[in-house]
Amino acid sequence: MFSDDLATVYEMIYRSRGKDWSAEARTMARIIKSRSPGADSLLDVACGTGAHLETFRTLFGHVAGLELADPMRERAVKRLPGVPVHAGDMRDFALGQSFDAVVCLFTAIGYAGGLEDMRAAVRCMAGHLSRGGVLLVEPWWFPETFLDGYVAGDLARGPDRTVARVSHSTRQGRTTRMEVRFVVGSARGITEFTEIDELSLFTEEEYLAAFADAGCRAEFVKGGSWGRGLFIGTRV
């Protein structure tokens, strides 16, 4: 999961699918500041290659990131000189500081593991919020909205390579197993690699209970750029 091969083509393939990290970051910042107008510090948990942070740092006085996968974090560090990008697991990190906002975007919470792992991650993120701070979490699909057997296919063309991506997702109990195959063509030839992603399926009620137990009032807002909605919490 999140190998160097994937990190190399990650943004390219998702841009071909219409993902706009800058626009998403601006939307999240508006949501945060609508609930906490004075918010000036933000932590991006599971920040990946730092694409959201690149915009967040223009909207907040202090930003930081947390990323478990070395290939993704290395790209974020290179991209964002002067921005702390910590190595860490969302379930048990401790940075020794608080933020006005913490975000965990693009379904990263689905990778946390089982229910207790998700609850630990929410508790840990909420524990890094200042009083009145805002926690935003983009979930993976709910059990009732996941499509078993779903197949996706994408083609991205760039100046130096073309990437094809095909995925097949199946449900195994409360887990999604997503097999993703990539074919990459460049002047050096054609290479292939496969990623296996496992994301947990939690209910809306389980997420809301996790927020409540972590000391946050929360609501779920449907829609969003990927249709999976957004949990918005405020630390009380």
Which domain CATH number covers 48? 3.40.50.150
Let me know whether 51 and 164 are in one domain. no
Let me know whether 92 and 184 are in one domain. no
What's the pTM value of the predicted model, to 2 decimals?
0.97
Q: Using DSSP bridges, classify how beta strands 62-67 and 41-45 pair: parallel, antiparallel or unpaired.
A: parallel
Separation of CA 207 from chain center: 15
Let me know whether 136 and 171 are in one domain. no
Structure tokens at 227: 């249709």
Q: Which CATH number goes with the domain that contains 174?
A: 2.20.130.10
Let me know whether 136 and 96 are in one domain. yes
Return the pLDDT at 1.
Answer: 67
The tally of domains found in the chain comes to 2
* Residue 203 CB-density burial (10 A; 0-12 exposed, 13-18 middle, 19+ buried): middle
At residue 189's C-alpha, the angle toward residues 185 and 192, to 5°, is 60
Range of the structural domain that residue 176 is part of = 150-200
Let me know whether 96 and 179 are in one domain. no
Alpha-carbon gap, residue 176 to 180, rounded angstroms: 12
- Axis-axis angle for helices 70-79, 51-59 (nearest 10): 40
Let me know whether 47 and 156 are in one domain. no
Let me know whether 25 and 56 are in one domain. yes
Closest to 44 (Cα-Cα) out of 101, 118, 112 = 101
Let me know whether 129 and 61 are in one domain. yes
Closest to 85 (Cα-Cα) out of 94, 93, 74 = 74
Contact predicate 31/232, CB 8 Å: yes
Burial per residue of 25-58, b for 16 or more beta-carbon CB atoms within 10 angstroms, e otherwise: bbebbebbbebbeebebbbbbbbbbbbbbbbbbe
Element (H, E) at 73: helix 70-79
Let me know whether 44 and 109 are in one domain. yes
Let me know whether 106 and 170 are in one domain. no
Q: What is the pLDDT along the chain (236 residues), one digit of tens a residue?
A: 689 999 999 999 999 999 999 999 999 999 999 999 999 999 999 999 999 999 999 999 999 999 999 999 999 999 999 999 999 999 999 999 999 999 999 999 999 999 999 999 999 999 999 999 999 999 999 999 999 999 999 999 999 999 999 999 999 999 999 999 999 999 999 999 999 999 999 999 999 999 999 999 999 999 988 899 999 999 99
Let me know whether 192 and 212 are in one domain. no
Return the pLDDT at 224.
Answer: 87
Let me know whether 161 and 125 are in one domain. no
